[in-house]
Amino acid sequence: MDYSDTSEHRSKNPSRHECEEQIRRILMTEVLRQGGNHHFRTAKDFMPLFDSLYPAGPGLTKQVQRAVKAMNMPKDKNGYFRVDKTKTQMAQDMEIGRLLNQSDFEIMELTSYETLFLKTDSRYRDYLLQLIDEAETLHEKFITAIPASNGILFLTENRALLKTLLESMIDRTA
């Protein structure tokens, strides 16, 4: 078997595209093994790995630097490259985080809540939803009310109580 292609490949510098693929592979491996990137902040940090694959030299260093620059990877708050997100995604995530930190937020599991659907004519739905939301009788009797195509969907901790209260508001003689 002829290994001349392999030795020839090792004697020359990789293309920028090859460097980008290697860097992406290195970072993805780091993320999968460590749960995140905790080693790579600059092109220099990749050099020991590239030096083990290709002959060391200024040409290789330049190629790795060009690849890192071309990849335009965002960095986390500690300055490590993020391979799993774009700069746009990082900016969006930071803005969401900023707003959540400024607001009184709470993440709630919906598994303990019950649903109740109030079927109604869609032309009255929005006004009815507004009235229900403002009604003192129904205050804190549901977590949320969501407009649906042919009614209103409620999430509540006590479906029977909400149903009873809604039914008590219906004038059966009309």
Q: Is 44 left (phi over 0), alpha (psi -120 to 50) or beta?
A: alpha
Among 98, 32, 36, 43, CA closest to 66: 43
Residue 13: pLDDT band (50, 70, 90) is confident
pLDDT in tens, 103-142: 988 888 888 899 999 999 989 999 999 999 999 999 999 9
Enumerate the CATH 3.30.70 domain ranges in the chain, comma separated.
Answer: 114-168
- Enter the pTM of the model: 0.55
Give the model's pLDDT for residue 10: 53
CB 154 within 8 A of CB 110: no
Q: What's the average model confidence in pLDDT over 149-171?
A: 93
Report whether 46 contacts 40 (CB < 8 A). yes
* Residue 53 DSSP SS3: helix
Residue 164 DSSP SS3: helix
Radius of gyration of the chain (CA): 29
Mean pLDDT for all residues in the chain: 89
What is the 8-class DSSP label of residue 12? S
Task: Place 4 in a pLDDT band, splitting at 50, 70 and 90.
Answer: very low
Domain spanning 114-168: CATH 3.30.70: yes
**Is the confidence at residue 3, as pLDDT, over 90?**
no
Half-sphere exposure of residue 156: CA atoms within 13 angstroms, side-chain side: 22
Please write down the HEC assignment for all residues of 43-92. HHHHHHHHHHHCCCCHHHHHHHHHHHHHHCCCECCCCCECCCCCHHHHHH
Q: How far apart are CA 63 and CA 140, in angstroms?
A: 62
pLDDT exceeds 60 at position 174: no
- Record the tokens describing residue 151, joined without a space: 């009614």
Could you tell me the CA-to-CA distances from 93 to 16, 68, 85, 87, 139 in Å, in that order?
A: 30, 23, 10, 10, 34
The percentage of residues in the chain with a pLDDT greater than 90, rounded to a whole number, is 71
Query: Bridge partners of 119?
Result: 151
